Amino acid sequence: MNTIPALEVSALEKHYPSFGLGPLDLTVQAGSIYGLIGPNGAGKTTLIDQIFGMGSPDAGTIKVCGFDHARDEVEAKQCAAYVGPGLNFDAWGKIGRAIRFNRGFRPTWDDAYCARLMQDFGISVDERIGTLSFGERTKLSLLLALAWRPQLLVLDEPTTGIDAHSKKAFFAEMLNIVHDESRTVFISSHQIYDLERFADRVAVLHKGRLVVEGLTGELVERHLQAEWVAENIEAFAHVPGLTLQERDGPLCRGVIDTLTCPLNSLVQRGARDVRTQPLTLEDLFLALTQ
């Protein structure tokens, strides 16, 4: 197993007039699927831009497969591939020409793998890129990124616009990629249900900061939706691990991180008739970013 993290972000900051990212610390272990979720404007694309050297950070460092993304830019980019909605391959005319061009500077390109992916995604070398639908363009982007078997695959909304059959093939391929515990997938997506099923770890990014991060199953299990009755709402303000959502008279509602806010701590603050229920990852995301 590779012990060097596939992605290591330390104390990263990037500031704009109307938005600030960080300070951000994030580690993605090799051989895993890591999901990053957040509302629009949370900073997901800004983080990905920083990973690939599109703009310099104001503070902090980024390492890709052990290489500093700025000092060792060439080595870092030889390890990582990117798929996102902004990629455009129209200049090559046909899919076959795009494949031949990309294969020319990728020593690890796998022709047999490429052919299988084309079959799985339902695209062919003779198709004109200009006539492809949005979903078909996404498939082409995935094909060109996967076929050279990068160590780190960074995906920004990779399943937007593709049909259910292709989405199934895509996630099956993601599991194949990490099966040998050496290659890694980093996904930024709004498809929270899919990430809950496939991601080993997830992080919620909100207003440029990580709100919560951890193993997917453990993260969901340790958070609970809670309702209780209390006369003094101020007793529950600014409690670590408690996200208050609403109050209707004496009835309070919120989300509890039982790791930092055990249920008995609510009772100690005057809560009565405490009731809890489990959350899905989407429930948790909505509660933490409302």
The pLDDT tens digits of the residues spanning 96-154 come to: 999 999 999 899 999 999 999 999 888 899 999 999 888 888 889 989 999 999 999 99
Q: pLDDT over 70 for what percent of the chain?
A: 99
265, 239 contact by CB (below 8 A): yes
Asked, for residue 193, whether it belongs to a domain, the answer is yes
**pTM over the 0.95 mark:** no
Q: Where are the alpha helices (DSSP H) in 105-214?
A: 111-121, 134-146, 164-178, 192-198
Provide the CATH number for the domain around residue 50.
3.40.50.300
Provide the CATH number for the domain around residue 237.
3.30.70
Structurally, how many domains does the chain consist of?
2
Sequence-distant (6+) residues with CB within 8 A of 264 are none
Q: Please count the residues of the chain.
A: 290
Same domain, 184 and 86: yes
Same domain, 178 and 202: yes
Residue at 279: amino acid letter: L
Tell me the residue range of the domain where 241 lies: 222-289
At 181, the pLDDT band (50, 70, 90 cuts) reads low
Asked, for residue 74, whether it belongs to a domain, the answer is yes
Asked, for residue 212, whether it belongs to a domain, the answer is no
Res 88 pLDDT > 90: no
pLDDT value, residue 226:
94
- 216: part of which helix (H) or strand (E)? helix 216-222
pLDDT value, residue 61:
95
Q: Look up residue 93 and give its two tokens.
A: 């005319």
Same domain, 104 and 236: no
Same domain, 154 and 280: no
Closest Cα to residue 125, out of 95, 160, 154, 89? 95
Same domain, 176 and 267: no
At 194, the pLDDT band (50, 70, 90 cuts) reads confident
